[in-house]
Amino acid sequence: MISVSNVSMRYGGKILFEDVTTSFLSGRRYGLTGPNGAGKSTFMKLLSGEIEPQKGVVVRPKKIGILRQDQFAFDRHRVVDTVIMGNWPLWKALEERELLYSKAELTDEDGMRLGELEGVVAEEDGYSAESDAAVLLDGLDIPEPLHGRLMGELQGGQKVRVLLAQALFGRPEALLLDEPTNYLDLESIHWLQNFLTHYNGALIAISHDRHFLNSVCTQTADIDYQTIITYPGGYDDMVLQKTQIRSRIEAENAQREKKIAQLSEFIARFSAGTRASQVTSRKKEVERLQTTELARSNIQRPYIRFEMKRPSGRHALEFKGVSKSYGDLDVVKNFSAAVQRGEKIALMGRNGAGKTTLLKALLANAPGVDDPDVGLDAGTVTWGHEAQVGYFAQDHRASIRNGSTVSEWLHDWDPQASKEEIRGLLGQMLFSGEEGIKPTDALSGGEAARLIFCKLMLQKPNVLVFDEPTNHLDLESINALNIALQKFEGTVLLVTHDEDLVDEVATRIWHFDHGQIEDFLGSYEEYSTVAAK
């Protein structure tokens, strides 16, 4: 169990949370929610002991598993060793034991120390450490040939999965996971969900994946109103309860204000007359009924709406024999398909299966796309009549020119747009007031993503191509994107590992598996039903 007593944190004049007292119990799985900037990562650092609270006390168990965010910290270590380091006492015992065994001769003191170390290794299940680490790595799609490689040789997404295995290793009493699904494909996410639902300790996870939170969490600890309130159930349960509670309080306050107005009218009419005792009684009643101002929520919800200047032709896209290789590796081979106007296609499969490669091959001659990092080796791609493409690249931050302000960069995409239109779009995406003149160099990942959405809303294309658009978005922004794509009347090509987004938006699935692409005409639910048979 982890307990927090009267904990407060603030930065400058901004209060993140104040006098928070709560507990995280073994056997329960908590989602830690709140918008970007609410203090989720700060609170997680308090729980882990990385930082100390400005006020209050945190009590934590001896063994905690933590998902590390520094992908480069273990570059000189083997993959399997990096995982075992998740149990630090065991790792230090193994290192010291190896050093002693490497000596040409052992002293009596060395022998006694070896006995102590063997006791630690046995107690921490060190004799099966490598096989236990291998099971975790295999489940997270790190194949056996990579287990002995150095971390520095792995790709970024692979490193994240190794660090996740590190956090899970050694049966920690509590798990602190900050964005554990980032860079994981759906199969790895499903494996992780299954693993965590069988975890017996106290789990606390920050995630912007609504489906993950709903599937895993038994409780939701929500940071808002400068405090932390724990609700039973997953994310959707929390939103419903939170809305109901606030609506009830607002209704009660409205009734009180109505009663206060009636009493105040009586007091004003008879305060100078003969009914002094009744006036005094009503004054006391007014004091008793005085409403306290409702704390203001720090949740901000963007408004995303994708419109088209004009629709494309009925055939939005057709391609035949598309192939793309990297060296001797055939990533996409001889794939053909026709896309009708209004179809919404989700590209799914393991990381590295070729989803981004196919998108870039199709964008090689796309109208409205100017990206040097696209192309194909063979095949033909024909975009339909009047097709105009809006592209959200996986590395979307690189497409925003530095040395400009947010409003200037956006205005460059449509010089005819008025300042009011630019200001309105930025406001919809939470760039309010002075944030419109924020330098593009200073944008966070989430801000850069929201600025790209502004650009797409300004350009009004009839084909939207999204490659991992949710990686840096908070839950409110992801939900807004989900609704916008459902309502969009044009064509969508979408790469994402957000299961709710695929489930609620896609009308067609392209599934990538070992060099083959399955073209399924139907929703994700229908595809999952067929695939399970």
For residues 155-171, average pLDDT:
85
For residues 380-385, average pLDDT:
93
Mean pLDDT, the chain, as a whole number?
Answer: 88
For residue 138, give Cα distances in angstroms to 70, 112, 146.
22, 37, 10
Q: Is 13 exposed, middle or buried (0-12, 13-18, 19+ CB in 10 A)?
A: exposed
Distance, first Cα to last Cα, the chain: 41
Residue 218 has pLDDT above 90, yes or no: yes
d(CA 84, CA 92): 10
Residue 384 has pLDDT above 90, yes or no: yes
At residue 141, φ and ψ (nearest 5 deg) are: 65, 35
Q: Check residue 55 and give its pLDDT.
A: 92
Question: pLDDT tens digits for 425-478?
Answer: 999 998 988 888 889 998 888 899 999 999 999 999 999 999 999 988 888 899
Local confidence band at 177 (pLDDT 50, 70, 90 cut-offs): very high
The least confident of 178-187, 309-318, 499-508 is 178-187
d(CA 283, CA 179): 53
Cβ(319)–Cβ(380) below 8 Å: yes
Q: How many CA atoms lie within 13 A of 439 on its CB side?
A: 4
Distance of CA 342 to the CA centre of its chain: 28
Question: pLDDT tens digits for 485-530?
Answer: 999 999 999 999 899 999 999 999 999 987 789 999 999 999 988 8
Cβ(482)–Cβ(490) below 8 Å: no
Local confidence band at 374 (pLDDT 50, 70, 90 cut-offs): low
Cβ(321)–Cβ(379) below 8 Å: yes
Q: Check residue 500 and give its pLDDT.
A: 93
Residue 274 has pLDDT above 70, yes or no: no
C-alpha torsion sign, points 278, 279, 285, 288: negative
Q: Check residue 147 and give its pLDDT.
A: 96
Q: What is the pTM of this model?
A: 0.77
Better-scored residue on pLDDT, 282 or 274: 282
In which region does residue 145 sit, left (phi positive, over 0), alpha (psi from -120 to 50) or beta (all else)? Answer: alpha
Strands 219-224 and 227-232: antiparallel
Residue whose C-alpha is closest to residue 470's, from 455, 490, 485, 457: 485
Residue 365 has pLDDT above 60, yes or no: yes
d(CA 331, CA 353): 7
Q: How many CB atoms lie within 10 A of CB 272?
A: 9
Whats the size of the chain, residue-wise? 533
Q: Check residue 521 and give its pLDDT.
A: 94
Q: Check residue 81 and give its pLDDT.
A: 95
Cβ(459)–Cβ(368) below 8 Å: yes
d(CA 418, CA 399): 23
Contacts (Cβ under 8 Å, ≥6 apart) of 32 = 40, 43, 44, 204, 205, 206, 221, 223
Question: pLDDT tens digits for 324-335?
Answer: 887 777 888 899
Cβ(467)–Cβ(398) below 8 Å: no
Q: Check residue 26 and give its pLDDT.
A: 93
For residues 337-356, average pLDDT:
92
For residues 336-363, average pLDDT:
91
Q: Check residue 372 and give its pLDDT.
A: 60
